[in-house]
Structure 1
Amino acid sequence: MAANIQAGREEACTAPAAPADITAASAGYLWARDTVGESGGRVHRLHGKAGAPELYLKHGKDAVADDIGHEMVKLRWLADYLPVPAVTQFVRTQDEAWLLMTALPGHTAYQVMAARPDLQGAVVDALATFLRRLHVIPADACPFTSEHPYRLARARSRIDGDLVDEDDFDEERQGWTAQQVWQAMQDLLPFAPDPVVTHGDFSLDNLIIQGGDVVGCIDVGQAGIADRYQDLAIAWNCLGEFGPALQRRFLARYGIDQVDQRKLDFHLMLDELF
């Protein structure tokens, strides 16, 4: 089993307790638990079953169960427009939710860029192309909102509930409190929104690459109508690990000639609170 485990990102485990429908659909698989995600729930990769595709299982309780339910609905809606994991099983009880999905073939954009520096430029171009494809989905067809007033209300609730991990802030905000981030965001308002259908967490870990192209996206629980900088800011921030030249290349390839620094800063700080 160990040879199939993705080093540094997951660990082998036994199958967790689950409802009968989930247990039946996952019979015969080997299990690995994700050790990277920050969703608040548990993510497992199911692999090693002869003749069967890899699967992923998300499980959570209480508010996380609500988020998993929202992701299930969004996956089914987005499937008409973009390649996303197919929902295999979904079970919701009063307090818990289980979402079983197909795995997309390939590797995350982060994995490819870290392992193949020679492909970094091509991956950045593919990310920008895929993001443009996402952002031209008709906004009036999208039933979900992630606009900044909505997300600000959620962020305020997280601050008041002491749910923000202040130790995980980006380097430029190390030592800040969540309230300081909140106030700095207020100083950047208002701005004119440019609403499109967004992924909500367009990070290098959530875009899957195969054969040089983005073949799909995962973790779509934050998807909905929002300003396009919601996605641009997160991707730009992730690419910072690989250097400013790739950040500039991404924005240019997407079609941004003049960066709106106010929106970029606002959405980077908004992301700190989730």
Structure 2
Amino acid sequence: MLKPPGDDWSLVEVGESDTTVYRRDKAFAKCCAPSGVPELTAERDRIQWLSGTALPSATVLDWIESPEGGCLMTSAVPGVPGDTLPAGAHDRAMRSLGRFLRELHSLEDCPFERPLAEVIASAADVVRRGAVNPDFLTDEWRKVAPEELLAEVVAESTYVESVLEPVVCHGDACLPNVFFDPDTLEVTGLIDLGRLGVADRYSDLALTTIQLHDEWSADPTPFLQAYGVPVPDKRRLHFFRLLDPLTWG
């Protein structure tokens, strides 16, 4: 696997799909084996696009590709990840996140797309290979065969397609991927942009609201009010909460 140039990088984590993350001062390097280059290239392109908008974000510092793999170097997003915020900060942070996500969803001219049919096809492939990670499922869903969960997704997709609201989505809008200023509690940026693209707004809203419940034990109402959908479509929330864990195998 390729490593970042220089010997002053500190190992941060070894991730899935042969990905390793390093840090040096205010920079990060994400490195991968040859098999992971297409996915890392996609993340690089999305970081470059988002950094050209008005939203705060990381920037691409360098990109290295060789027969050993790829290495993406980016600036660090300031602040702290959302899952580390203390309970007393949750209400203000939820409102900040709602406003920020609305701004992201209001961006235009995004060249990347995540069509629902393709996402469902990806989930079908994961299920076919028996690669669904049970850790991503609720206790209730673990009692159900993945094939049955997928069948529910497919059956409900006709409704979701009929009310689709395409916007620029993060694609994995969970709290560890959102950074906040610990003092002002304003959002300072997003990380892990490999799934960023035009999709139904509820693909983000579903993940964020369930994260607020699971990680913070919080009622997501302040988030939804700040976002602008105080009465969300519960049917779409359920659909995308069920679909997402089937796509990570």
Tell me the TM-score normalised to structure 2 length.
Answer: 0.88
Equivalent position amino acid for 2:75 in 1: T
Shift of 1:94: 5.0
The equivalent position to 1:193 in structure 2, one of 147, 161, 164, is: 164
Q: Which residue in 2 is equivalent to 1:45?
A: 22
Cα 1:76–1:168 change in 2 (3 A) is: same
**1:84 pairs with 2:57:** yes
| CA distance in structure 2 between the aligned counterparts of 1:157 and 1:93, rounded to whole angstroms | 29
**1:182 pairs with 2:182:** no
SS in structure 1 at match of 2:63 = strand
The equivalent position to 1:124 in structure 2, one of 58, 73, 94, is: 94
Q: Which residue in 1 is equivalent to 2:11?
A: 32
Give the number of the structure with larger relative contact order, counting CA–CA contacts within 8 Å between residues 6 or more apart.
2
Q: Return 5+ residue gaps in structure 1 as ranges.
A: 1-16, 48-52
SS in structure 2 at match of 1:144 = coil
Identity of counterpart residues, as a percentage?
A: 25
Q: Return 5+ residue gaps in structure 2 as ranges.
A: none
Contact map agreement 2:83 2:176 (CA 8 A) in 1: yes
**1:236 pairs with 2:212:** no
Aligned Cα RMSD in Å?
A: 1.9
Cα 1:272–1:249 change in 2 (3 A) is: same
Shift of 1:95: 6.5
The equivalent position to 2:131 in structure 1, one of 121, 146, 163, is: 163
Contact map agreement 1:33 1:42 (CA 8 A) in 2: no
SS in structure 2 at match of 1:188 = helix
Contact map agreement 2:63 2:71 (CA 8 A) in 1: yes
SS in structure 1 at match of 2:52 = coil
Q: Which residue in 1 is equivalent to 2:44?
A: 72
SS in structure 1 at match of 2:96 = helix
Shift of 1:58: 1.5
The equivalent position to 1:148 in structure 2, one of 93, 113, 116, is: 116
Q: How many residues align?
A: 240
Matches within 5 A, 1:246-257: 247-257=220-230
Matches within 5 A, 1:92-103: 92-93=65-66, 96-103=69-76
SS in structure 2 at match of 1:119 = helix
Shift of 1:266: 1.0
Contact map agreement 1:41 1:61 (CA 8 A) in 2: yes
1:112-157: CA deviation from partner (whole Å, max 9, x where unpaired): 1xxx21111011011101101101101xx11111121121122222
| CA distance in structure 2 between the aligned counterparts of 1:235 and 1:43, rounded to whole angstroms | 26
